[in-house]
Amino acid sequence: MAQIQKPFTFLRTGHVVRNRTVLAAMTNKQSNDDGTISSEEISWLCRRAEGGFGIVTTAATHVSKDGQGWDGEFGIFNDSHIAGLKLLTDNLRSKGAISIAQIFHGGMRSPQRLTGVQPISASKNKCSESLYGFSRSASEQDIVRLINDFSDAALRCANSGFDGIELHGAHGYLISQFLGSKTNRRNDSWGGDIIYRAKFLIEILRSIKLKVPDNFIIGVRISPEIEKIGINLHDSIKLAEILRDEEIDFLHLSCGDSFSRSICEPEDPRFITEWFTTSISQLPPIISTGAVWNSKDVNSLISQGADFIGVARVGIAHPDWPKKILNEKYEPKEPPFTETQLRDVKLSQPFIDYMKVWDNFVSADT
Ligand SMILES: Cc1cc2nc3c(=O)[nH]c(=O)nc-3n(C[C@H](O)[C@H](O)[C@H](O)COP(=O)(O)O)c2cc1C
């Protein structure tokens, strides 16, 4: 049996995933202003579960009202969000997928125009989303509140029927603002070298574990390198070791392009995922995502040591990608796609409009 087809059991929680495909988190701007999930967002995700994805991850969902990143983003900061999410998780389960909610706080990337408050971050940073031009440095009291917001949100996810959560520690949002040496210049116990910059993430994980049921999957997504905010590969490898010791259920590497070399080690032949799989013993299960489109890409990323293959854009246009990728020579059509093609695969107009900002993804109907 090809590796991508093989079921996987999460040892700690007992969940069985039917294959090694993951629909990575994708913001799609289809939900409601009060933070409840819309039927359009539910139907887009359920169509991908029907297409055979082993794990279906939701869009990033904010744990605090002041952590919202975009218009049309569903939230998980209030119990009033639970009823709609139950419809989603029941549906995903009936279609055989493991459901994971990606929870996050935007930090200095949460626009003040949306949240009504000055964006918060690890330090006072230059910030285009702030009406004052700067983020506010989180006080000790803010940090305690934010950690609680994350763990309360995780509990709401469990109560909504999700199989687990993915903590969004990637892409420059609040958790990565604490991880980055340029955005976190604190000289208290929440800043310093990577062990201290990781403390915010670790305390969130510990707080979540105290609140959710034992059989709830807890994973973390990171960006191994973000030069702009001071996240580098070697710190990220140390972070992965810390996360392994915290016994997370999976580590999701957001590689951008899984077939590119490290920025800080350009001479080394290893791709980013390989850096982790060859440097660290007893790694948690690895999901790796970035620039996978066809069967050749899948095989190549599996040979780098990934346990799961995450995809985003190809899963938009090709909801049955998991079923078809079992064919050794699947080469799905590449972008652009017409609006009609995207409507046919359950994208609503707001999502299609959002995809127009992604280079060359949407073309005009002829
Ligand atoms: C429309 C869109 C929305 C995205 N939203 C999120 C998100 O909410 N959270 C996240 O971690 N990544 C998000 N990403 C990044 C993807 O999860 C993925 O890492 C990236 O697109 C690379 O994978 P791909 O080459 O398969 O598209 C988004 C990507 C796309 C295309």
Owner of token pair 């996810």:
157
Report the mean per-residue pLDDT for the chain.
97
Q: Is the CB of 313 under 6 A from ligand 1?
A: yes
Q: Is the CB of 220 under 6 A from ligand 1?
A: no
CA of 287 to the centre of ligand 1 (A): 14
Residue 57 bridge partners (DSSP): 100
pTM: 0.98
* Ligand 1 pocket test, candidate residues 288, 313, 360, most atoms within 8 A of CB: 313
CA of 278 to the centre of ligand 1 (A): 25
* Ligand 1 pocket test, candidate residues 27, 337, 351, most atoms within 8 A of CB: 27
User: What does R_g of the chain's alpha carbons equal in angstroms?
Assistant: 19
Nearest residue (by CA) to ligand 1, atom 10, is 25
Is the pLDDT at 262 greater than 80? The verdict is: yes
CA of 26 to the centre of ligand 1 (A): 5
CA of 25 to the centre of ligand 1 (A): 6
Average pLDDT over residues 70-99: 98
Ligand 1 atom with the smallest distance to the CA of 315 is 26
Q: Is the CB of 168 under 6 A from ligand 1?
A: yes
Is the pLDDT at 326 greater than 90? The verdict is: no
Distances (CA, A) of 139 to 67, 103, 142, 143, 151: 16, 22, 5, 6, 19
Nearby residues of 297 by Cβ (< 8 Å), 6 or more positions away: 258, 259, 291
Token digits for 4?
């991508």
Ligand 1 atom with the smallest distance to the CA of 313 is 27
CA distance 249 to 85: 22
Average pLDDT over residues 218-243: 98
Q: What is the pLDDT, as a whole number, of residue 364?
A: 86
Q: Is the CB of 292 under 6 A from ligand 1?
A: yes
Counted residue by residue, the chain has a size of: 366
Q: Is the CB of 55 under 6 A from ligand 1?
A: no
Q: What is the pLDDT, as a whole number, of residue 64?
A: 98
Q: What are phi and psi of 244, to 5 degrees?
A: -60, -45
Q: Is the CB of 59 under 6 A from ligand 1?
A: yes
Three-class SS string for the chain?
CCHHHCCEECCCCCCEECCCEEECCCCCCCCCCCCCCCHHHHHHHHHHHHCCCCEEEEEEEECCHHHCCCCCCCECCCHHHHHHHHHHHHHHHHCCCEEEEEEECCHHHCCHHHHCCCCEECCCCECCCCCCCECEECCHHHHHHHHHHHHHHHHHHHHCCCCEEEEEECCCCHHHHHHCCCCCCCCCCCCCCHHHHCHHHHHHHHHHHHHCCCCCEEEEEECCCEHHHCECHHHHHHHHHHHHHCCCCEEEEECCCCCCECCCCCCCCCEHHHHHHHHCCCCCCEEEECCCCCHHHHHHHHHCCCCEEEECHHHHHCCCHHHHCCCCCCCCCCCCEEHHHHHHCCCCHHHHHHHCCCCCCEECCC
Tens digits of residue pLDDT in 85-98: 999 999 999 999 99
Nearest residue (by CA) to ligand 1, atom 16, is 312
CA of 329 to the centre of ligand 1 (A): 25
What is the number of alpha carbons within 13 Å of residue 92 lying toward its C-beta? 30
CA of 312 to the centre of ligand 1 (A): 5
Q: Is the CB of 318 under 6 A from ligand 1?
A: no
Q: What is the pLDDT, as a whole number, of residue 274?
A: 97
Q: Is the CB of 19 under 6 A from ligand 1?
A: no
Nearest residue (by CA) to ligand 1, atom 4, is 26
Contact of 109 with 173, CB cutoff 8 Å: yes
CA distance 321 to 48: 9
Q: What is the pLDDT, as a whole number, of residue 216?
A: 98
Burial zone of 31 (CB within 10 Å; 0-12 exposed, 13-18 middle, 19+ buried): buried
Q: Is the CB of 167 under 6 A from ligand 1?
A: no
Q: Is the dihedral of CA 261, 265, 269, 274 positive or negative?
A: negative
Is the pLDDT at 1 greater than 80? The verdict is: no
Nearest residue (by CA) to ligand 1, atom 1, is 26
CA distance 157 to 129: 28
Average pLDDT over residues 181-208: 98
CA distance 255 to 290: 5
Nearest residue (by CA) to ligand 1, atom 3, is 26
- Domain positions in the chain: 3-107+144-334
Q: Between residues 333 and 326, which one has the greater pLDDT?
A: 333
Q: What is the pLDDT, as a whole number, of residue 199?
A: 98
pLDDT category of residue 144 using cuts at 50, 70 and 90: very high
CA distance 182 to 198: 14
Is the pLDDT at 178 greater than 80? The verdict is: yes
**Domain 3-107+144-334, CATH homologous superfamily name and number:** Aldolase class I (3.20.20.70)
